[in-house]
Amino acid sequence: MGEPSVAKDASARRPGAATAGPLVLVVEDEPAMQRLLGAVLDDNGFRTVQATTGAEAVKLASACNPDIVLLDLGLPDFDGTEVTRRLRQWYAAPILVISARGQEDDKIHALDVGANDYVTKPFSAGELLARLRVWLRQAALSTDEGGSNFIDVGDLRIDLARRLVFVGQREVHLTPTEYKLFAMLMRNAGRVITHRQLLEEAWGPPYANETQYLRVYMAHLRQKLEKDSAHPQYLLSEPGIGYRLRAP
């Protein structure tokens, strides 16, 4: 465990390039993967800071306040879930987890404690870059929207002040529990919300494992909100993990 590696500022090596691409904190302990991620991000106008342990990740995040964190789950000191838990005490920007096959539980725990999304190894550079851009855009939007009472996603709208829901111009009546679930998904549009998070929100912690409740209520929500509830456009299942409201 040496010093955290030096920030690779793409713009510093290319004087003509825009001065400040988004800053990505890459937390990855495998040297080959680290080099690959650094190269891909540099080439695409991102600035990177690299950490190879959980402790470095936490330290660098507070020193650099990155725009997004790309976080491998398996780290030598403590795991990515613990890094997420510590960061979420103060860090609001997106955390994108990198998981390997066989790390399903760890991935779900990381989402439970506040990671936004995940990519599974092996992934392509294109897939990773697309995901980073989505999350950076979302983060910019949610900063702009601060304080607004409305959230719009496609033709879905929620009025948080008056607790009303619309599909296009049509008002849709939701039960209080349906509303809680829908509001949580809308507030986190694009993000995977785990079964546990949804169950605790709607019914409280004692119900954290009652996933069959969710199946029933999500089916109701789809009937009320989707054009074709058998082929949902918005309320997507992430099998074994949770649900995601698709961002447009």
Query: Interface residues with Ca ion (CB under 5 A)?
Result: 29, 72, 74
Q: Taking the complex as a whole, how short is the minimal distance between the CB of residue 28 and Ca ion, in angstroms? A: 6
Q: Taking the complex as a whole, how short is the minimal distance between the CB of residue 70 and Ca ion, in angstroms? A: 12
Q: Taking the complex as a whole, how short is the minimal distance between the CB of residue 72 and Ca ion, in angstroms? A: 4
- Measured CA to CA, the distance from residue 54 to residue 75 in angstroms comes to 6
**Quick check: helix, strand or coil at residue 111?**
helix
The amino acid present at 62, given as its one-letter code, is S
Q: Taking the complex as a whole, how short is the minimal distance between the CB of residue 80 and Ca ion, in angstroms? A: 9
Phi/psi of residue 162, nearest 5 degrees? -100, 0
- Measured CA to CA, the distance from residue 195 to residue 212 in angstroms comes to 10
Q: Judged by CB, which is closer to Ca ion: 105, or 228?
A: 105
Nearest residue to Ca ion, by Cβ distance, number only? 74
Q: Judged by CB, which is closer to Ca ion: 10, or 98?
A: 98
Q: Judged by CB, which is closer to Ca ion: 10, or 111?
A: 111
Q: Judged by CB, which is closer to Ca ion: 45, or 74?
A: 74
Helix/strand/coil (H/E/C) assignment for every residue in 31-43: HHHHHHHHHHHHH
Beta-carbon contacts of 108 under 8 Å, excluding residues fewer than 6 positions away, are 194, 196, 240, 241, 242
